[in-house]
Structure 1
Amino acid sequence: MAELYSRRSFLAGALTAGMLSTSAGYFFTRRNKIQLTLATGADPTGGRQLLVSMWNRLNPNVQIQVREVNSSTQDQFLKFNETHADIFNLDVIHIPRFAAEGKIVPIELENDISLVAPVRRVCERTGTDQLWAVPFNSDVGMMFRRVTDKRADAPVTLKSVLAASATGPVTFAGQLDTVGRQTDEAFVCNVLEHALAQDEAILDEGGVLSYGLGQWRDALAPLADAIRRKRVVAAAGEDDTARAFQRDSLRYMRNWPVRYLPLDRAERARPDTAEIRIDRLPLGILGGQSLAVAADSDYRDEAVRAIHFLTDNPAQKLLTSFGFAPTSVDAYIDADLQEALPHLSLVRYAVEGSRPRPIHANYAEFARRFADHTRRHLHDGEELTQQFITDIRSVLR
C-alpha cells in the first residue's frame, strides 16, 4: 500500500514540475497588475488551488483570486449571481441558465484537447464550435466495493444489489434521502441512476426524461421497497454515505470518483479490508464543473487565457492525480496515470456511457419538484400520481 501511494505522490509532483516547465504559452507580459476573481465551490483535494497557484507564479501581473462561495449545487446560480467574478466554476446543470440569462459569454476552445463526448455536449453552444464553459473536471456516479477476499469478489450493479437486499443482509449505502438544499442534488442523481438501472429509457442520452407515469412507478418500485423495508442505508449526502460505509463496514456504496483515493487509503489499513474497488454503473449520472467567462468581466481576454491554462491537458493530468475524473481522452490514456491509478479506465467507461440530467435553464426548479415527489414516494409511501408528471413536464418545456 505504501508503494502505491508513494507512486501517486511522486506522479503529482512530477506533473506539477512538468507544467511549470512547459507553460511558456501562458505568460502575460503586461506591466500593470490586474486581478481575476474566480468564483467556485470548495475543493477538498487541493488540486484546483494548486493549479491556480501555478498560474499566479507564472503571471505575477495577472493574478487569480479564488472566491469560495458557500453554496449547495441547487442554489449555486443564486449565490454566484450575487458574486462579482471574472470566471465562474459552474456545475454542469447551471450552464444553460447562466447562458440563457446572459451571465456568461461563449469561448473558442483553443487547446489541443480531445474532450470526452458527453462532457463536451453539455457545454456546447448549439450550432457552433464554441463552448459556453470549458470543462474543468468531470464526474459520474460509481459503485464502490469493499473487497475482503479477492478470489471470491465480483462486481455488482444497482439492480443486483437491490435484488440481493430482499433476502440477505444490508450491504449497500447511497444518497437516497435528502434533508434540504445541501443534499437534494445528490438525492436526485441517485434516484435517476436507480431508475435507469431498471429502465434505460427513463432518461435518454440527451438528458430527455420519460413522462410515462407507469414507467416511473415500475422503475422506482424496487428502490421504494428496499427503502421502506430498511434493506439499504438511505443517507443524506455524500459525506453521510461515506461515513455509513465505513462505520458499518458495508460491502457497497454509490459515490463520486473523487471520494475513492482517500477512502481506499483509509480502508486498506483495516485488517478486514483488502482494498476498495470502484466499478462503473451501467448508466451513471454525469456531473462535473466547467469554467466560464463572466459577461461583465473587464478582463475577458485574460480570463480566457487563464481558463485555457487551468483546463489544458497538463492540468487535466494533474487534477487526475488528485482523484478527479478528467475531461480529456489524453489524461485517461496517459501511461503513468494508468499505472498509478488502475481504476482510471473504469472511470472513463463510466463517463463515456453516462447520461446527463435534463439540460434546461429551469433545471433547479425541476430538481426541487422531482426531489419532493420522489422523496414522499420512497420514504412516506405516497403513490406517484399524474401530478408528478405534470409538475416536472411544466418546468422543462
Structure 2
Amino acid sequence: MTTPYSRRSFLTGVVATGLVSAGATFLLPGGRTRSKSLDGRPRLCTGTDLTGARAAVIGMWNEAHPDATVDLHEVPGGSRAERDAMVERIRNGAVDIVNLDIVDIREFAKEGYLQQVRLPTRTYFPAVEQVHRVAPDAERYWAVPFNSDVGMLFSRVTAGLELRRPLLPQVIRRDARGVARFVGQLLPDTENDTEAFVVNVLEHALSTDAGILAADGTVSDDPGRWQDALAPLRNAVLHNDVVRARNEEDTRNLFEAGLTHMRNWPARYRGLRHQVDLLPLPAGILGGQSLALVANAANVETSLEFIRFATSEAAQRVTAAHGLAPALTHAYDDPLLLQAMPHLGRVQRALEQAVPRPTHRRYRAFAGAVRRHVLPFLGQPDGRLTGAFTDEITNTLDPGRR
C-alpha cells in the first residue's frame, strides 16, 4: 500500500468519524514524527474542544515525547471563563502555555503575561498575521495560531442568491412562502453569549457598510452611520424575518430543524446531516485560537518545542481533518486534504478577506458596550443608537491605550 493511498484513506476516516489515533502520522511528511530528548512537562491551559483536534495533536506529541507529555488543564464555561482561568493560573505560576481566544492576545501581551515567540518563516493570511505578530517587520509573535476561524454563511438553497453581492442582506428576508429562513447568534442570554452576538452584529454592519470597521481596528464614531449599517438587520428582527439563537450550537440545531441559511463557523460544517453549501462572506469576522508562552513559564524550552510542533503545517492538517480552519496558507495546498474536504477552498477564500476585530487590550469592554447598546436597538421599535454608544466604544478603544 503506497503512502498517498494510506493518507487518503486515513483522511477519509477522520472526516467521517472524527477519530484520530497513532495513525495520524500519515498526515505528517514521510509518515513519521521525530523525537528528541526534552525535559519537563508543558502545562497547557485551554478551553474545551468539541472537535477532537487538540486531543489528536497532543496525542501525537505525547507519543513522540514520552518524557515530556503535556499536562492539560481544560476549562469549561466558554470564552470569558477560559480567559479568567488563564489569568489566575499565570498569576499563580501554574501554567506554561495558554490557548488564547484571538480577542485576548492584545490584553495578555500588554499586561505582561506573555513571552514573545520567534518562528521560522511561515505564511499566514494577512488578517491572521496582523493580529499575532509583535511588529509588522518582526519575526516574533505574541501567540502562534493553532487554528483560525472566520464567519461564513451555510446555505441549503443557493438558487436566487447573487453570490457577488453581500449575502447577509439577501437571506434575512422571508422566503416566497412568508417563512423565516435565516438563523444567527442574535439573542445573547449570558455573558458567554456576548462574543457570538458581537461578531454577528459586526458582520451584518460590514455587509452594508464596509467602512464601519477598518482593517486596523478603527470603528466609526458616527451613530447615524451605525444605524444605517444595521438597518436591514433591525428591520428583519422587528418583523420576525430571522430566527435568533443564543450561540453557535443552538444556531446549528435550529438550522438542522429545517431552516435554509445560517451564520456560523466552519467547524460546524462537519457532521451536518444534509447537503450544505459553505459560502464566504465578503467580510467575515476573523476568529481562532492561539498558543502562547507565558512570561513566567517554568518549562520554556519544552513548551516552545510543543508550540512549534502543534502549530506546524503538519499539525494543521490534523486540525483541518477535524473541521478547524488552518491559519497557514500552505495547508490549503494539500491535494489530499482538499479532495477529502472540498469546502476548504471556500474557507480559504473567506480567510483571505476576513476582517479582524479591534486588536485592543480592552476589546472585551468594547464587546460589552456593543451588546448593551445594540441589543435593545435591534429589538425595540423606538430603539436608537446615540452618541452615547459611539462615545463609549471609541473611548474604550482609545489608541493611546492600545
| TM-score (norm. length: structure 2) | 0.88
The aligned residue for residue 394 of structure 1 is: 395
The aligned residue for residue 270 of structure 1 is: none
8 Å contact kept, 1:183–1:237: yes
1:119 aligns with 2:125: no
RMSD across aligned C-alpha pairs, in angstroms?
Answer: 2.2
Specify every segment of 5 or more residues in structure 2 that has no aligned partner in the other structure, as ranges: 1-7
- Residues in 2 aligned to 1:246 and 1:10: alpha-carbon distance in whole angstroms: 22
The aligned residue for residue 327 of structure 1 is: 327
- Residues in 2 aligned to 1:5 and 1:362: alpha-carbon distance in whole angstroms: 46
Of stretches 82-91 and 132-141 in structure 1, the one that deviates more from structure 2 is 82-91
The aligned residue for residue 338 of structure 1 is: 338
Q: Which amino acid in the other structure matches residue 202 of structure 1?
A: I
The aligned residue for residue 261 of structure 1 is: 270
Shift of 1:10: 6.0
Aligned residues with identical type, % of pairs: 36
Q: Deviations over 1:211-246 (max 9, x none)?
A: 111110101111111111111001111111111111
- Residues in 1 aligned to 2:370 and 2:27: alpha-carbon distance in whole angstroms: 46
Within 5 Å, which residues of 2 pair with 1:258-337? 258-263=267-272, 266-267=273-274, 275-337=275-337
Of stretches 123-132 and 334-343 in structure 1, the one that deviates more from structure 2 is 123-132
8 Å contact kept, 1:16–1:318: no
8 Å contact kept, 1:166–1:226: no
Within 5 Å, which residues of 2 pair with 1:1-397? 8-9=12-13, 15-19=24-28, 21-24=31-34, 27-30=35-38, 34-83=40-89, 84-110=94-120, 112-127=121-136, 128-147=138-157, 152=159, 157-163=167-173, 168-247=178-257, 249-263=258-272, 266-267=273-274, 275-381=275-381, 382-397=383-398
8 Å contact kept, 1:74–1:184: no
With over 3 angstroms needed to count, the CA separation of the structure-2 counterparts of 1:302 and 1:122, relative to structure 1, is: same
Shift of 1:154: 5.0
Shift of 1:16: 3.1
Of stretches 319-328 and 381-390 in structure 1, the one that deviates more from structure 2 is 381-390
8 Å contact kept, 1:114–1:328: yes
Q: Which amino acid in the other structure matches residue 122 of structure 1?
A: V
- Residues in 2 aligned to 1:92 and 1:18: alpha-carbon distance in whole angstroms: 26
- Residues in 2 aligned to 1:318 and 1:6: alpha-carbon distance in whole angstroms: 11
Match of 1:35, SS state, is coil
Shift of 1:7: 5.7
- Residues in 2 aligned to 1:325 and 1:180: alpha-carbon distance in whole angstroms: 27
Q: Deviations over 1:256-295 (max 9, x none)?
A: 00000111xx23xxxxxxx111100111000000100011
Q: Which amino acid in the other structure matches residue 134 of structure 1?
A: V
- Residues in 2 aligned to 1:234 and 1:301: alpha-carbon distance in whole angstroms: 47
Q: Which amino acid in the other structure matches residue 64 of structure 1?
A: V
- Residues in 2 aligned to 1:387 and 1:256: alpha-carbon distance in whole angstroms: 32
8 Å contact kept, 1:71–1:79: no
8 Å contact kept, 2:283–2:353: yes
| TM-score (norm. length: structure 1) | 0.89
- Residues in 1 aligned to 2:162 and 2:313: alpha-carbon distance in whole angstroms: 31
- Residues in 2 aligned to 1:325 and 1:134: alpha-carbon distance in whole angstroms: 14
Q: Which amino acid in the other structure matches residue 197 of structure 2?
A: F
Specify every segment of 5 or more residues in structure 1 that has no aligned partner in the other structure, as ranges: 268-274
- Residues in 2 aligned to 1:166 and 1:146: alpha-carbon distance in whole angstroms: 15
Q: Which amino acid in the other structure matches residue 263 of structure 2?
A: R
8 Å contact kept, 1:74–1:185: no
Counting matched residue pairs gives 376
8 Å contact kept, 2:207–2:283: yes
- Residues in 2 aligned to 1:165 and 1:86: alpha-carbon distance in whole angstroms: 52
Q: Which amino acid in the other structure matches residue 199 of structure 1?
A: D
Match of 1:192, SS state, is helix
Shift of 1:210: 1.1
Q: Deviations over 1:338-366 (max 9, x none)?
A: 11111111101101101011100001111
Q: Which amino acid in the other structure matches residue 365 of structure 2?
A: E
8 Å contact kept, 1:141–1:281: yes
